[in-house]
Amino acid sequence: MSTTYKDEAGVAAMRVACRLASEVLDYLTPFVQPGITTGEIDRLAAEFMVKQGTVSATIGYQPNGYPPFPAHLCTSVNHVVCHGIPGDKVLKKGDIVNIDVTVIKDGWFGDTSRMFMVGGEAAASVQARRLCEVTYDAMWKGIEVVKPGATLGDIGHAIQTFAEGLGFTVVREFCGHGIGQRFHEDPQVLHYGRPGTLQVLKEGMTFTIEPMINAGKRDIKEMGDGWTIVTKDRSLSAQWEHTVLVTPTGYEVLTLSAGSPATPDFVRAAAVSA
């Protein structure tokens, strides 16, 4: 597999698919309340995808060595790092949950995820709120680096130094990825690394930046279902994800919609000073 560079038509198609993925999360937001099951969240998402004319990329997805993924999205609660399978799990006040959505529209993939604090911010512990905030900012620290001539190592370094500098740890075993007319393309986008290393970014590249940050140690393990990944020490884990386009002068975040969380202050400040 090699990196694909999107032309004008490809970029236009990616904008649509990515916006629609984000709109699934907009739709789900008011339902993420104490008492709902993760399976009900999945059912609501599936119904909404039909209405918007998209198809889930995750249901039936089966990389080599894995069982088929059985749901339309991933729900990763508390110490689940990623790939949580929706089911009978009832969300409780104070839980944190990552909802990860990938849709297909006209053969193009859009991929994004958000953290939710069940019962609102006031219901979450100080540690949980801080973890969610730092992980969101870490993702944006990586995004801010994106421009032609920068490297993948620059992205990883920005995320790693920010998160670790605040006392959190970065999961190493999972990374962002190229995306377009395939769910997973080159390059792999590590969330740690050294500046000036790995592939040089060029206009037309589209890839995800999706750091997984732990409150405790970075070590993880796989559960018996073949998909669910948890922290070994059962510490909380958080993840945010956007799909990004490399533009002639910088970046464009493709997975934005009306309900997307506000960008961090440091991003807005950089835009004003540019």
Query: Can you give the CATH number for the domain in which 22 is found?
Result: 3.90.230.10
Model pLDDT for residues 63-98, shown as the tens digit of each residue: 998 999 999 999 999 999 999 999 999 999 999 999
pTM: predicted TM-score of the whole model, two decimal places: 0.96
Band of pLDDT at residue 1, cut at 50, 70 and 90? low
Q: 220 exposed, middle or buried (CB, 10 Å; 0-12, 13-18, 19+)?
A: buried
Residue 154: inside a domain, yes or no? yes
Domain total of the chain = 1
Judge whether residue 272 has pLDDT over 80. Answer: no
Burial 116-134 (b: 16+ CB within 10 A, else e): bbbbeeebbeeebebbbeb
- 3-state class of 214 per DSSP? strand
Q: What is the mean pLDDT of the chain?
A: 97
Residue 53: inside a domain, yes or no? yes
Interval 265-269 mean pLDDT: 87
Residue 100: inside a domain, yes or no? yes
Residue 271: inside a domain, yes or no? no
Residue 175: inside a domain, yes or no? yes
Interval 123-147 mean pLDDT: 98
User: What is the pLDDT at residue 2?
Assistant: 84
Backbone angles phi, psi at 151, to 5 degrees: -120, 165
Residue 238: inside a domain, yes or no? yes
Residue 241: inside a domain, yes or no? yes
Residue 270: inside a domain, yes or no? no
Pairing of strands 176-178, 169-170: unpaired
| Host domain of residue 163 | 8-256
Model pLDDT for residues 194-240, shown as the tens digit of each residue: 999 999 999 999 999 999 999 999 999 999 999 999 999 999 999 99
